[in-house]
Structure 1
Amino acid sequence: MKNQSTVVEFIILGLSNSCCLNIALFVILLVIFLLTIMGNITVVSLSLMDHRLQSPMYYFLRNFSFLEICFTSVIMPRFLYSLLTERKFISLPGCFLQLLLFFVLGTCVFFHVAIMSFARYMAICHPLHYGTIMNGRVCFQLVLGCWVMSFLLIFPPTFVVVLLPFCGPNVINHFYCDTAALLQLSCVDTGHIEVMILVSATIILLGTLTVTIVSYGCIISTIMRIPSTTGRKKAFSTCSAHLMVVVILYSSSIFRYIRPEQRGARDFDKVVSFLYSVVAQLFNPYIYALRNEQVKQALKGVCDRAFSKSVRLS
């Protein structure tokens, strides 16, 4: 298939055509973006500085937070810029690069959620073997495997989309470059690409969801056997918060990508995409890490040291 595109740039419609609403969206999304970035930077910094946060679970959390920073930065700065300046154009190479990074990093997020669920299962259900099985080498291999598998599963369908000819129109009904909108704009039949995307999405989403559900099922079964009522409530509180993020992340993604018709962007798709690309990313650092007691103690220690230092300097 030869790339014979006559389109040299795309117009990304965004979430609204109203100038006033776009200003309000800019303020809200800027706050969300800054909170997401600051929350993840805090997690990465604390896990590197505090000796108490050197276990495998915090190793995965540190990598997960770094991944979240990268993923959020793929679409949010460009989207915020378009809201502020009303410049909605994006070049073909820029669109294709955003498409590839968004799906590779997004896929890596799902793999990380699965391995963090498995790590939590090992820590709670097999605490005596946790340190032996989840050693530094295994943790590194799991994280590396997440990145390699994400690239291998996403690159083939994305590369085929890049090769498609686009002869016009060039309007993307979304707030970032998405496959459904690009397939709709292509001049040729895209049935085989839709099958590739559906197969990849099914493997990624249902495969990682299975690992996550089984892990949390075993965790909940172990929690039920805790004799202390207070201990059970505390453990359930943590698990329910994690599961809330999992439900938002997977339900919206499955609804969006595991469906026979992959071609054509719908207005409701933008709302669903907003849930997993913006809302879930905001919750992740605060629910997965900053609610954790050890992380809170580490953060309190850093704040106390910083306050004491500022008092001495003054």
Structure 2
Amino acid sequence: MRGQNVTTVGTFVLAGFPAAARLRPVLFLLFLLAYLLVLAENLAILLTVRRSAALHRPMYYFLGALSSLEIWYVSDILPKMLDGLLLQRRRISFAGCMTQLYFFSSLVCTECVLLASMAYDRHVAICHPLRYHVIMTTGRCVRLVAFSFACGFSISVVKVYFISSATFCGSNVLNHFFCDISPILKLACTDFSTAELVDFVLAFIILVLPLVATVLSYGHITLAVLRIPSATGRWRAFSTCASHLTVVTIFYMAMIFMYVRPQAIDSRSSNKLISVLYTVLTPIINPLIYCLRNKEFKAALKKVLGFGPSTAIETLNRPSVRRIPCVGLL
């Protein structure tokens, strides 16, 4: 990075959780178990979607993309955190810190656009059920997923470029357990208003615009559902969106609390806590939210693992069940 040529700080020190120094072995085991659980859950989703022909449908393609994103996300943050807890190696080079920040920012931005794409999928499924398989083709799903990753990784290039171009001197202690934008900029010893402005503008584009698209999609979905005459039909239609809507709510609540809250209520301890909840807990619960009550997915998973009858998927895909193409994730 160009910023590396002008900075007097060659390495950062991740402060981590100094208040919990005596609990490091316990924290290491907890975070290690969490990391392994995230990997196991999301790899199971990827394997099941790949090996089950009945799941080769748009909503499961998006779910597979989200699972891949979650694996990369925790792998960007948790290994370094675990190394710091176990071996006390809390130093990270300037280039390494910028690299971690780049992938963290890219994956968060990608998730914004991907969640909006999934909202569009639910919109087409409920508002245009007879044309669903015509509109949401495999090619379109691939393009939407590719667009999500392209937006996230390209926007983050600009953000990290301006952040890395700031001058850092004096203290090199980063009061966080990973390289995030706000703790890094607090160590800058020159004017970083340009970096903050660029970060704000790009954050608005990548956070607010997908959120608006998601809200509009669910506005149309609500109007379509209210026109369904039977209460059973309305509940069935709403249930197809419940999982996605829950994940969207959790994601944006965490983003707002971490990056949009007023400075008056800013707290480094609470910021770390919310970061832990978002970077560790959310990747654990997202697969459960999407798959725990999904009978079709559970049947496919049992078949892949060899625990279910070979006819489980065929039973679920009889015409009486598949006549509604907008059956969702719950």
Same fold (TM over 0.5): yes
3-state SS of the aligned residue for 2:19? Answer: coil
1:298, CA displacement in angstroms?
A: 0.3
- 1:67 Cα deviation after fit: 1.3
Match of 1:100 among 99, 102, 121: 102
Displacement of 1:14 in angstroms is: 1.1
SS in structure 1 at match of 2:13 = strand
Determine the C-alpha separation between the residues in 2 that align with 1:307 and 1:24: 41
Aligned equivalent of 1:281: 283
Shift of 1:229: 4.1
The whole-number CA distance in structure 2 between the counterparts of 1:89 and 1:11 is 4
Q: Which moved more, 1:218-227 or 1:96-105?
A: 218-227
Q: 1:269: how far off?
A: 1.9
**1:52 match:** 54
Q: Is the 8 A contact 2:127 2:220 kept in 1?
A: yes
Shift of the 260–164 alpha-carbon distance from structure 1 to 2, 3 Å rule, reads: farther
| Aligned residues: CA RMSD | 2.4
Give secondary structure in 1 for the equivalent of 2:189. Answer: coil
- State the match for 2:91 in structure 1: 89
Give the alignment partner of residue 244 of structure 1, picking from 239, 243, 246. Answer: 246
Q: For 1:86-235, what aligned pairs fall within 5 Å after superposition?
A: 86-230=88-232, 232-233=234-235, 235=237
**What is the CA–CA distance in structure 2 between the aligned matches of 1:54 and 1:126, rounded to whole Å?**
20
Give, in angstroms, the shift of residue 228 of structure 1. 4.8
Residue type at the aligned position of 1:152: S
Greater shift after overlay, 7-16 or 252-261? 252-261
Question: Offset at 1:215?
Answer: 2.1
Relative to 1, partners in 2 of residues 1:56 and 1:307: Cα closer, same or farther, differing over 3 Å? closer
Shift in alpha-carbon separation, 1:27–1:229, aligned structure 2, 3 A: farther
Cα 1:28/1:237, change in 2 over 3 Å: farther
* Compared CA separation, residues 29 and 219, structure 1 to 2 (3 A): farther
Q: Which residue of 2 aligns with 1:61?
A: 63
Unaligned runs of 5+ in 2: 311-330
CA–CA distance in structure 1, aligned partners of residues 65 and 94 of structure 2: 31
TM-score, length of structure 2 as denominator length:
0.85
Q: Distance in 1 between matches of 2:201 and 2:281?
A: 26
Cα distance change on mapping 1:72 and 1:296 into 2, 3 Å: same
1:23 paired with 2:19, answer: no
Deviation by residue 1:46-74 (Cα, 9 ceiling, x = unmatched): 11100100111111111111111111110
1:305/1:63 CA distance change after superposition, 3 Å: same
Give distance in 2, aligned partners of 1:290 and 1:235.
18
Q: Deviation per CA, 1:105-137, whole angstroms, max 9, x where unpaired?
A: 111111111111111221122111111111122
In 1, Cα distance between equivalents of 2:267 and 2:153: 24
In structure 2, distance between residues paired with 1:298 and 1:40? 15
Secondary structure of the 2:22 match is helix
DSSP 3-state at the match of 2:29:
helix
Bigger drift between 252-261 and 55-64 goes to 252-261
Equivalent pair of 1:202/1:258 in contact (CA under 8 Å): no
Structure 1-normalised TM-score? 0.89
Partners in 2 of 1:62 and 1:199 — Cα distance?
30
* Distance of 1:10 and 1:161 partners within structure 2: 14
Closer/same/farther in 2, CA of residues 36 and 222 from structure 1, 3 Å limit: farther
Give the whole-Å Cα distance in 2 for the aligned partners of 1:279 and 1:134: 31
Distance 1:242 1:192, change over 3 A: same
* 1:135 to 1:244, Cα distance in 2 relative to 1, 3 A: closer
Q: Give the SS at the match of 1:90.
A: strand
Q: Equivalent pairs: percent with the same residue?
A: 40
Q: Which residue of 2 aligns with 1:312?
A: none
| Residue of 76, 80, 94 corresponding to 1:78 | 80
Name the aligned partner's letter for residue 93 of structure 1. Answer: A
CA 1:256 to 1:19, structure 2 compared with 1: closer, same or farther past 3 Å?
closer
One-letter identity of the residue aligned with 1:186: A
CA–CA distance in 2 between the matches of 1:209 and 1:259? 17
Q: Secondary structure at the match of 1:189?
A: coil
Q: Note if contact 2:58-2:137 (Cα within 8 Å) is conserved in structure 1.
A: yes
Q: Which runs of 5+ in 1 are unaligned?
A: 309-314
Please say if residues 122 and 241 of structure 2, whose CA atoms lie closer than 8 Å, have aligned partners that are also in contact: no
